[in-house]
Structure 1
Amino acid sequence: MPLAILLSATDLSALLCSRICHDLISPIGAINNAIELYDEGIANEDALQLIRTSGVSASDRLQFMRIAFGEVSKKNTEINTSDVRNVARQYMSNEKTKLSWNGPDLLLPKKEVKLLLNLILLADASIPRGGHIDLTLQQKNQYSNFRIVCTGTMLLVPPKFMELYGGTFPEESIDVHSIQFYYTLWLAEITKMPLQITITRQEITFCAR
């Protein structure tokens, strides 16, 4: 279903930049706090460990978002999913949800890869208390097929996403908290991989093909 709202390129870029900053505030803030503790001579070893773990978390997030939201390379029009799988696993290692990645290594168009990573973010947001994401990636006759199944103690597709998915104007304007939902649906449109959602009491399934 076509998006009911169409953001300008400037607004889309600005909101995605804000989303990236929002996701990096936590690990970078933790590093800053740890440095202050270290400078004061308080819990030096704990402070150093916090710097290490927060630095890794920030790096994992940046690598993931570079592919999901940014431009990897203007020279290459395709990305190997083996690299994407490693980046996704590293990113999810910092989350409450576990990721299983199934499927062969493929060369996919960059925007399809972006859609795949954004579907992982959407799936993670749909299991707010943590759980499991089972991703299956296939390609037949050069057509890609993504299937992501979410399970957990609490299943809830974000309401703002469902408003956008339903083709209605959201009650509130798109902001830093909902721009990723819009971007996911925008990617599904331009890749011509419409998104289908199945919700049961046991699981939520996102399919794009």
Structure 2
Amino acid sequence: MTTSPVELASLLCSRLCHDMLSPVGALSNGLELLQDENDPEMRKRCFELLEQSAKVSTDKLKFFRLAFGAAGGFGDMVAVREARELVDALIANNARISVNWVLRSEQLAKPAIKTLLNFALVGIDALPRGGTLDIAAELSGGVTEIAMRASGPRIAFDRDIGRALEGTLPDGDLSSRTAPAAMVQQLAKALGGQVQSMLTDDALVLGAVLPSV
């Protein structure tokens, strides 16, 4: 897979816009309702919905800023706590998904943090009926190991995402849905690392081994 940086960036922007459309649209709808509503209780409810939509929008923007963007600059170390807070905020309104964390390092390099966040994104998408995310990360001996396991009653995993993670997806098949996985694969390749995926009837497992540079 030899995707140009411009094409990959464009597809990542498309994915971001797709995910932001719902909460931003809810803000717009809430403002329209507020303009025509005079009942105090209904106006109070409108304000509550606006506040909720604003928080969801902010949480998603913070997540995508680090998962896709260059927040903090490349090559910098990032507190693992920050990544955990971003993922926890992303699923805060989804009571059907729970997250278990095993984080044995306080900081990881930016590519590792991006990999962790995008693994979490794939895992969340794979659990349309809810389930559990188990996420682990550790830096030891100059190598970062990251693992994500999504388990639940129904696993929805596009095989093209797996191919994008492994670098075997044909360029013509790359889309906004598979672009985050392609970015992870390019990050791993640049570091001399590797990414793997495994799908069973009740779980999806993603793993990455990333040497430090």
The equivalent position to 2:21 in structure 1, one of 18, 21, 25, is 25
RMSD: 2.0
Structure 1 residues 177 and 202 mapped into 2: Cα distance closer, same or farther (>3 Å)?
closer
Q: Deviations 1:143-200 (Å, cap 9, x if unpaired)?
A: 1111111111101321221343371427x63222322232232223223331222333
Please name the residue that 1:16 is paired with. 12
Q: When the two structures are superposed, what TM-score results if normalisation uses the length of structure 2?
A: 0.86
The answer to whether the 8 A contact 1:82-1:105 is kept is: no
How far apart, in 2, do the equivalents of 1:75 and 1:149 lie?
A: 27
Q: Is there any run of 5+ residues in structure 1 with no aligned partner, and where?
A: none
Q: Deviations 1:46-91 (Å, cap 9, x if unpaired)?
A: 2111101111100110111110001112387111111221122111
Please name the residue that 1:169 is paired with. 170
Equivalent residue runs for 1:174-189 within 5 Å: 174-189=174-189
Aligned length: 204
Q: Do residues 145 (structure 1) and 145 (structure 2) align?
A: yes
Q: Do residues 6 (structure 1) and 5 (structure 2) align?
A: no
Equivalent residue runs for 1:50-129 within 5 Å: 50-74=49-73, 77-95=76-94, 96-129=96-129
How far apart, in 2, do the equivalents of 1:31 and 1:78 lie?
A: 35
Structure 1 residues 17 and 90 mapped into 2: Cα distance closer, same or farther (>3 Å)?
same
Please name the residue that 2:207 is paired with. 207
The answer to whether the 8 A contact 2:68-2:180 is kept is: no
**Runs ≥4 residues deviating over 6 A:** none
The answer to whether the 8 A contact 2:104-2:137 is kept is: yes
Please name the residue that 2:158 is paired with. 158
Q: When the two structures are superposed, what TM-score results if normalisation uses the length of structure 1?
A: 0.88
Q: Secondary structure at the match of 2:196?
A: strand
How far apart, in 2, do the equivalents of 1:92 and 1:41 lie?
A: 31
Structure 2 letter corresponding to 1:82: R
How far apart, in 1, do the equivalents of 2:203 and 2:55 lie?
A: 31
The answer to whether the 8 A contact 1:98-1:132 is kept is: yes
User: Could you tell which deviates more after superposition, 131-140 or 194-203?
Assistant: 194-203
The answer to whether the 8 A contact 2:77-2:108 is kept is: yes
Q: Deviations 1:3-36 (Å, cap 9, x if unpaired)?
A: xx22211111122122211111100100110111
Identity value in percent: 24
